[in-house]
Amino acid sequence: MIVIISKHAKCLHPPPDPENFAYKAEVQLPSTSHCTSLTHIRSLPKFSALFLSLLLHSIMANQKQLALLGLALLVIQGVIAYDPTITMDFGFMNASTGEDFTSRAFSSNMLPPNPSAGGLVLVPQFAAQFPGVTGLGISSLFFKLGTGGLVPPHFHARATEIFFVLSGTWDVGFVDSANKLYSAKLKAGDQFVFPQGLIHYQMAGSSSATGYSAFNSQNPGVTLIASNVFASMPEIPSGVLEAAFKVDAMTVMNIRKALMG
Mind listing the pLDDT tens digit of every residue in the chain (261 residues)? 333 333 333 444 444 444 443 333 333 334 444 443 333 333 444 445 555 555 555 555 666 665 555 555 545 444 444 456 777 899 999 999 999 999 999 998 888 888 999 999 999 999 999 999 999 999 999 999 999 999 999 999 999 999 999 999 999 999 999 999 999 999 999 999 999 999 999 999 999 999 999 999 999 999 999 999 999 999 999 999 999 999 999 999 999 999 987
Closest by CA position to 160, among listed 110, 195, 108, 109 = 195
pTM for the whole thing? 0.68
Euclidean distance between CA atoms 227 and 154, whole angstroms: 9
Q: Do 157 and 217 form a contact (C-beta atoms < 8 A)?
A: no
Closest by CA position to 235, among listed 247, 215, 220, 249 = 249
Phi-psi category of residue 4: left, alpha or beta, with phi > 0 → left and psi -120 to 50 → alpha: beta
Euclidean distance between CA atoms 84 and 104, whole angstroms: 29
Superfamily of domain 103-230: Jelly Rolls (2.60.120.10)
Domain boundaries, the chain: 2-81, 103-230
154 annotated among ligand-binding-site residues:
yes
Question: Bridge partners of 224?
Answer: 154
Euclidean distance between CA atoms 141 and 132, whole angstroms: 15
200 annotated among ligand-binding-site residues:
yes
156 annotated among ligand-binding-site residues:
yes
